[in-house]
Structure 1
Amino acid sequence: MQQGLSINAMRVGLRYKLVNYGEVYEFEILQRINDNNFLLKDLYTLEQYEIHDLVRFGRGDDFEIREM
């Protein structure tokens, strides 16, 4: 069961925390690529990647997105 926000409810310029399969990611959304994909900037490493990279192996039981 998904908790928090859905991916398509996220907005450019805002910061989010995503938990999936025990991994925690904190990022800012830089650009909307399409309805279900965004370009992100990791808040700690400053690396840029797409949200699809974080969910490409599926959504775990702990999947959650929260605005920071």
Structure 2
Amino acid sequence: MKGIAINTIRVGLVYRLTNFSETFDFEVLEALEEDNFQLKDLHTLERYELNDLIRYGMGEDFEIIELEEGI
């Protein structure tokens, strides 16, 4: 695993998650429970939970990186 650990994600910051060759850019809106967050997709403005993105496991390419706002 590269990048940062899930438990270092902070509300209000912007991140990019890569998993199973899919990439998601999102802002963290709220901490819901341990290692789960309410997210807002930066491209579609859709809201979802982090657990929805990692529901099927973490692939070999799993990575979370912090982005500068205004990508």
**Displacement over 6 Å in runs of 4+:** none
State TM-score, norm by structure 1: 0.96
Which segments of 5 or more consecutive residues in structure 1 lack a partner in the other structure? none
Report the alpha carbon displacement of residue 8 of structure 1 after superposing the two structures with TM.
1.0
How far apart are the structure 2 equivalents of 1:54 and 1:13?
A: 18
Write the distance in 2 (CA, Å) between the matches of 1:47 and 1:25. Answer: 11
Would you say 1:7 and 2:17 are equivalent positions? no
Identity fraction in percent = 52
- Hey, what's the Cα distance between the residues in 2 that align with 1:41 and 1:63? 19
Give unpaired runs (5+ residues) of structure 2.
none
Letter in 1 for 2:20: Y
**How far apart are 1:34 and its partner, in Å?**
1.2
Deviation at 1:50, TM superposition (A): 0.2
Q: Matches of residues 45-64 of structure 1 in structure 2 within 5 Å?
A: 45-64=44-63
Distance 2:41 2:50 in 1: 11
How many residues align? The count is 67
Superposed counterparts of 1:10-21, under 5 Å: 10-21=9-20
Partner of 2:35: 36
Match of 1:29, SS state, is strand
TM-score (norm 2): 0.92
